[in-house]
Amino acid sequence: MAHLTGSYRFYDCQVAFPERLCLENVLSAHEHGALLINHAEVIGITKEDNTVNKIQVKDCLSKEAREISGRVIINVAGQWANNILNMVIKFPINTIRTTMGIHLVTTKISNNAIVLFAKSDAACSSLFPGMDTHSLALPILNIQGTSRLCMPSPMNVTYLFQETRNVFPGLKKEDIHYTFAGLRALVGSHKQRVSNISRSHKLVDHESIDGVNGFISVLGGKMTGYRSIAEEAVDLVCTKLSKQ
């Protein structure tokens, strides 16, 4: 199968709305007394008597490292959750599977949102109309580990383009304005097809699951449920700290 070539561009980017939503939450947290640390990387976690009580954080700009104490540590690292888990638990029972979703933004081809199933392998993709464009989305790849380089390959683009043309034969490669991709953290077996794995989240209290105190993980989930997921996590922390 020949790969598409042309003037459309490959971008390593995310859509603006999630970034703005995240920033608004960060600003609100700061207004309510949260201590925010940006450009920081967790490089180590300390356990005493099988209780997590300290994390080591490196400032990625100054390279300075600091130690931070906490009564409860919550792992909300998204697609990097396994990296944090492996600092604490040798063989964690609950982990995430990292997948990549690819997107093509094209000239508008319909006024409706549409779900498509590929003829070649029955994979499910979706089309979302904008004001004058259409976004084609497909959860396509299993990623081993995580990568800072997240972008569609020519093979990915060709696959999604040709499967879409089966339904919209008038779509041309010149109609593709640009492409982008994003990593997704899913809770499910590595033996399952990506399209069959639930997008639901899982809140893990490692005290009851892995015998590690003071450590909680929020795995999987979608942006649309972030408020209820956060409420569930805060309720669990309050219960563990015996606060209402």
Residue 178 belongs to domain with CATH number: 3.30.9.10
Which range of residues forms the domain containing residue 78?
37-95+198-240
d(CA 83, CA 77): 9
**Using an 8 Å Cβ cutoff, are 105 and 179 in contact?**
yes
- Its pTM stands at 0.75
Based on its alpha-carbon atoms, the radius of gyration of the chain, rounded to whole angstroms, reads 21
Q: Are 139 and 162 found together in one domain? A: yes
Q: Are 157 and 108 found together in one domain? A: yes
Q: Are 13 and 103 found together in one domain? A: yes
Sign of CA dihedral 59, 65, 68, 74: positive
The band of 181, judged by pLDDT with boundaries at 50, 70 and 90, is confident
Q: Is the pLDDT of residue 154 over 80?
A: yes
Give residue 232's pLDDT. 96
**Using an 8 Å Cβ cutoff, are 83 and 225 in contact?**
no
Between strands 215-220 and 51-59, the pairing is unpaired
Q: Is residue 29 part of a domain?
A: no
The band of 17, judged by pLDDT with boundaries at 50, 70 and 90, is low
Helix or strand (DSSP H, E) at 10: strand 9-10
Q: Please give the residue that has the higher pLDDT: either 197 or 214.
A: 214
Which candidate, 68, 81, 69, 74, places its Cα nearest to that of 216? 74
Q: Is residue 32 part of a domain?
A: no
Q: Please give the residue that has the higher pLDDT: either 78 or 130.
A: 78
DSSP assignment letter at 164 = H
d(CA 127, CA 105): 10
Give residue 193's pLDDT. 62
The CA distances from residue 26 to 20, 22, 185, in Å, are 10, 6, 21
The band of 224, judged by pLDDT with boundaries at 50, 70 and 90, is confident
Q: Is residue 2 part of a domain?
A: no
Q: Are 79 and 179 found together in one domain? A: no
Among the candidates 160, 185, 210, a domain finishes at 185
Q: Tokens 């459309």 map to which residue?
A: 8
d(CA 8, CA 136): 14
154 Cβ partners below 8 Å, 6+ apart?
A: 3, 4, 5
Give the N- to C-terminal CA distance of the chain in Å, as an integer: 60
